[in-house]
Amino acid sequence: EILGVLVPRLAELTQSDCIWQRICWRLVECVPERWMEAVLLGFVHRAPGADVLSRLLGNLVVKNKKAQFVVTQKVLLLQYGHTTAALQNLLGYLSLESPRRVLLLRVLQELLETWGSSSAVKHSPPEQQLYISKAILICLSHLKEPEIESCRQELLTGMMEGVKCHLDSNLPQLRRLGMVVAESISSKINTEGPVLKFEYEEDDETRQLKSLLVQTSPLCVVPSLPDDDRSEEAGAALPSAPEGNKKSQTAAPGMSDEGSDAELDSDDDLVPYDMSEDKELKIKAPVYIRDCIEVLTGSEDVGKWEATVKALESLIRRNPAATREVSVELAKILLHLEEKTCIEGFVELRQRAQVAVLTTDPIPVSKYLTSQFYSLNYSLRQRMDILDVLVLAAQELSCPKFHGKPKHSDAQKPHIQLLPGSDSSKDWRRIVDERIKSKTRRFATGQCHVEPASSPNQFSSVAGHFFFPLIQHFDRPLTTFDLLGEDHLVLGRLVHALAALMYLAVNTVAVTAMGKALLEFVWTLRFHVDSYVRQGLLSCVSSLLLSVPAELLLADMTEELLETQSWLGDVVEKDPDGDCRRLALQNLLLMENLKKKLEAVPS
C-alpha cells in the first residue's frame, strides 16, 4: 500500500533531480535488514522499468549484503513466482551500471549451473525450470560482445550440460525448454559460425521465450512513413539498383540476336498434354493372409507392398481362423516392419494391424509380445510400440461388441400379428393397446429407450497374460536395456500401461491378484526421481482403487493400503511436481469415499 503511492511519486521526482535521487538512495540504504527483502521486491514490482529502478535504488546491491543476497540468490534461484516483467526489471537494473554488471555475469553463471544440474531438473517443478530459463535469456540479452568473449567457454560448457539434462527428461515441456535455451546461447556465442537448431513445435511459451532474447527499446520504434517518403527512402537505400538496370539495358541490344535464336528453341510454345482424366493404376491387394506375409517379407514390388499394408487390418478381421494359424508369425513381422515408401499414416496402419492380430488370437500373441519386451536387440521405440498395442487391444477386448445394428422399435408402424393357433382372449389387453396406438395420431415422440445388448468381457480370460509378464522382470537390467537406469522413459510408459490394464480388468477374476502385484510394484518405485514415472505410479493406485472391490481391498491388502495412504499424504505435501500432488490428493479422496461406502453398508 505504501509503495503503491511512494514509488510513482519518487520515480517522477528523481527523473530530473539528482538531489532527490540521493535522498531516495539514502532512504533504501537505511531500511532495516529484516525488512530489506519486502521493500526491494516492492520496488521491483512497482517500478515501470529497469531505468526507473536504477534511479530509485542506485548501487544498493553493491553496498548492502542483504540486498545483494535477495537480488542475486533468493529472487532468481530460490523463488519462481515473480512475473516476467519483474525479472526484466531486476536483471535490467543489474546491467545498467558497470559496478553492477559484475553481479550480472555472476548471476548468469549461477543460473547456468542450476539449469545444467541433472538433480535440479529432476527435483524441481517445471514452473521453476521455465522461470530460470527466462532469467538466462534476459541475462543473455544484456550481454555485450567483450563480455561474451570473456565467458564464451563457460557459456558453452553450461549449454552442453544443460541441454543434455533437459533432453533426458520425460516431460515434453522440459525438453522444449532445453532446446530453446540451447539455441539462444548458441546464437549468442556463435555469431558467425553454425548454430544449434532443433525441431519442435512452436507455441506461445516458446515464442515468449525467444522474444526475451531481443531488447526492444520504446525509443527505437520507427514511425510509419507516407508512401512517397517510403519510395524515396527505398531508392536511397538501394543506390546500386539503377546502375544494374542501366547495365542490363545497355547489354540488352547486344543480346537481342542471341535471344531471338534462343526463343526459337524454347519449349514455351508446346501445348501440354491434358492429364485431367488420367486415373491412377490401382494395384490389387492380396486376399489371403499367407499372401500378405509373403509380400511383407520378400516382395520387391513397392506398390503391392503399400496395398498390402493398407488392406491388412480389414483382412485380419475378416479371416480370424486363417489369422490364428499364423498369428505369432504375423505379429513378429509387424513388430519388425519398417517403412519402405512414404505411406501416409504408416505407423497407425501398422499399429491397427498389430491390434487386430492380438485381439483375434490374444493368448499366443500376448505371450510373444510380452516376452519380446524384455528381450535383447530391440529399440526403445519397438518396446514402447509393444506397450501401446497391448493397451489398445485390451481396451478393444474389454468393450462390449455389437453384432449388427440394434433393432429399432416398431412404434411408428404398429401392427397386430397373432400366432396361428393362439388364443387371442389371453392377450386382449395387448391387442387393445396396439389398436389404440395405431389409431392415435402423435405429432412428436421421444426416442425409444433400447437396452444395449450385453456381451461377455473377452479381456477377462486373458488379462493375466497381458499383465503379469510385463511386471515380472522390470528390475533385471540387460546389456542394452535398463529400466531402473537410463531408460526411465520406457519405465514411465510401462507404468502408465500397467495402470491402463489394471483399470480395464475391472470385474475380472484375476483383478485381486493383479491389484496385489501392482501395489507391490508401486511400493518399490514410489521414490523414483522422474516425475513422469511418479505420475504413472499414482495412476496405478487410482486404477487399483477403482477396479478391485472394496471388500477384497480391505480383506487382502489392509496393511499395504495404510502404508500407501501415508505415502500419498507425503506426496501431497512434499512432491515438487504439481500433477503428482493433484493425483495423490485424488487417491486420498478415493480412499475416503471407499471408507464411507463400507461404513454405510449394514453389517
Are 302 and 174 part of one and the same domain?
no
Q: Is residue 289 a part of any domain in this protein?
A: yes
Q: Is residue 73 part of a domain?
A: yes
> Are residues 507 and 457 in contact, defined by beta-carbon separation less than 8 angstroms?
yes
Task: Provide the pLDDT confidence category of residue 601 given band limits of 50, 70 and 90.
Answer: low
Name the domain count of the chain: 3
- Residue that wins the pLDDT comparison between 255 and 179: 179
Residue 206 sits in the same domain as residue 297: no
Residue holding cell 507392398? Answer: 305
Whether residue 210 contacts residue 180, with contact meaning beta carbons closer than 8 Å, is answered with: yes
- Using 50, 70 and 90 to split pLDDT, how confident is the model at 130? very high
Same domain as 149, residue 42? yes
Whether residues 292 and 389 fall in one domain: no
Closest CA to 466 of 397, 556, 419: 397
Residue pLDDT, tens place only, 512-555: 999 999 999 999 999 998 889 999 999 999 999 999 888 888 88
330 vs 123, higher pLDDT? 330
Lowest-confidence range among 94-108, 213-227, 321-335?
213-227
pLDDT of residue 391 exceeding 70: yes
* 444 found inside a domain: no
Closest CA to 360 of 398, 318, 402: 318
> Are residues 165 and 89 part of one domain?
yes
Angle of helix 531-547 relative to helix 511-525, nearest 10 degrees? 150
Range of the domain at 535: 385-399+457-602
**Exposed e or buried b for every residue in 49-87, given b needs 16+ CB within 10 A?**
ebebbbbbbbebbeebebbeebbbeebbbeebebebebb
With respect to residue 594, please indicate whether it lies within any of the assigned structural domains: yes
Res 450: pLDDT? 58
Q: What is the pLDDT of residue 444?
A: 56
Q: What percent of the chain has pLDDT over 70?
A: 80
Asked if 295 and 390 sit in the same domain, the reply is no
Return the residue matching grid coordinates 501401446.
388
Q: Residue 288 and residue 291: Cα distance in Å, rounded?
A: 5
Mark whether 327 and 464 lie in a shared domain: no
The pLDDT of residue 222 is 35
The residue-averaged pLDDT of 186-213 equals 85
pLDDT digits (tens, 9 = 90+) for 560-587: 888 999 999 999 998 888 899 999 999 9
pLDDT the model gives residue 416: 38
pLDDT of residue 280: 60
What tens digit of pLDDT does each residue of 550-561 get? 888 888 888 888
Task: Provide the pLDDT for residue 232.
Answer: 41
Residue 115 within any structural domain of the chain = yes
Q: Do 354 and 485 fall into the same domain?
A: no
pLDDT score, position 427: 59
Q: Which of 2, 73, 96 is nearest to 43 (CA)?
A: 2
List pLDDT tens digits, range 413-466.
333 343 444 444 445 666 667 767 776 666 655 555 556 666 777 888 899 999
Q: What is the mean pLDDT of the chain?
A: 81
Per-residue pLDDT tens digits for 473-522: 888 888 778 888 888 889 999 999 999 999 999 888 889 999 999 999 99
Q: What is the pTM of this model?
A: 0.69
Answer yes or no: is 221 within a domain. no
Decide if 598 contacts 553 (C-beta within 8 A): no
Residue 445: inside a domain:
no
pLDDT at 580: 92
Residues 343 and 492 grouped into a single domain? no
**Claim to verify: residue 340 and residue 393 sit in the same structural domain:** no
Q: Distance from CA of residue 414 to its chain's centroid?
A: 55
Q: What is the DSSP letter of 48?
A: S
pLDDT one-digit tens code per residue, 328-384: 999 999 999 888 777 888 899 999 999 999 999 999 999 999 999 998 888 889 999
> How confident is the model at residue 245, as a pLDDT?
46
Residue 47 in any domain: the answer is yes
Return the pLDDT at 231.
Answer: 40
